[in-house]
Amino acid sequence: MKTAASVGNPLESTKVDLKENPEADPFSVARNIALRQLSMAPKSRKQLEESLAKRKVLPEIAGPVLDRLTEVGLIDDLAYAGMFVRSRCLTKKVSSDSTISTWPSCSIRARSKSIGSASML
């Protein structure tokens, strides 16, 4: 009978690196790296590409893996961007008189106020 101690950490087997095991399937290694990154926090495709490149995964391996993760909905740059902007709006002060903002959705109220004021002239 297997006990928890004899089985070990189930995630340990996913920590395969091409440097440690050159015989490993590079697609599986890339997929595992990307999935580990996504399990910590949402990431953009660009962030995942950079993470894979840092781990010496070739672009011709990373591309199809990231394409598949996008197909199944695990990578969604539009949703990531929306989450990022909402997070920044909540944590950063935005000038109320700003009509041009780095974070467009943060300044919607400021823009609508200035447009409303201008239309009343």
Mind listing the pLDDT tens digit for each residue in 19-74? Answer: 666 678 899 999 999 999 999 999 999 999 999 999 999 999 999 999 999 999 99
**Domain range summary for the chain, segments of one domain joined by +:** 11-75, 80-119
Q: How large a percentage of the chain has pLDDT more than 70?
A: 58
- Burial class for 37, CB neighbours closer than 10 Å (0-12, 13-18, 19+): middle
- Residue (of 30, 32, 37, 31) closest to 80 by Cα position: 37
Is the domain spanning 11-75 CATH 1.10.10? The answer is yes
Residue 81 has pLDDT above 50, yes or no: yes
pLDDT in tens, 107-116: 444 444 444 4
Identify the residue with better confidence: 94 or 84: 84
- 39: Cα separation from own chain's centroid: 10
**Which residues have CB under 8 Å from 56's CB, separation 6+?**
18, 19
**Predicted pLDDT at 19:** 61
